[in-house]
Amino acid sequence: MRARYSAYVLNETAFLKASWHADTCPTEVTPNGDLRWCGLIITAHEHASERGRVHFQATYQDAGGFALLDEDARFVFEAGHWLYLDGTPSVSRLRPGRNDACPCGSKRKFKKCCAR
């Protein structure tokens, strides 16, 4: 999961396509270059011999502000590699207060960081 997140951050479409299961991979894999990814938190994971699940939260910034992508992703192990099968994503907008920690991950208050 961390490798796929890094591929989205770096716009590495070849890796995204290679790490996606052939049965569910879209014909075009185009990460949104207008997003600024800010952080990834793995909240849960489990795996059996050939199946796995990862629940994660990824924070990003776009023209509308900050948002949180919360997804429960399923993976399958084939030919020595874990492949992304599908997921159940939900996106929610973040509305940080002036004195809250900035969602960009700087550990500074929002008013002294991205709110400027």
Partners of 57 in beta bridges: 41, 70
Domain edges within the chain: 2-112
pLDDT score, position 31: 80
Going residue by residue through the chain, which has 116 residues, state the pLDDT in tens, using 9 for 90 and above: 899 999 999 999 999 999 999 999 999 988 888 899 999 999 999 988 899 999 999 999 999 999 999 999 999 999 999 999 999 999 999 999 999 999 999 999 999 999 87
Predicted TM-score of the model (pTM): 0.90
pLDDT score, position 75: 97
Token couple for 19: 């790490």
Topology adopted by domain 2-112? Nuclear Transport Factor 2; Chain: A, (3.10.450)
Alpha-carbon 79 to chain mean position: 24
| SS3 at position 44 | strand
Question: Measuring CA to CA, which residue among 113, 67, 74, 115 is closest to residue 94?
Answer: 67
pLDDT score, position 13: 93
How many residues can be counted in the chain?
116
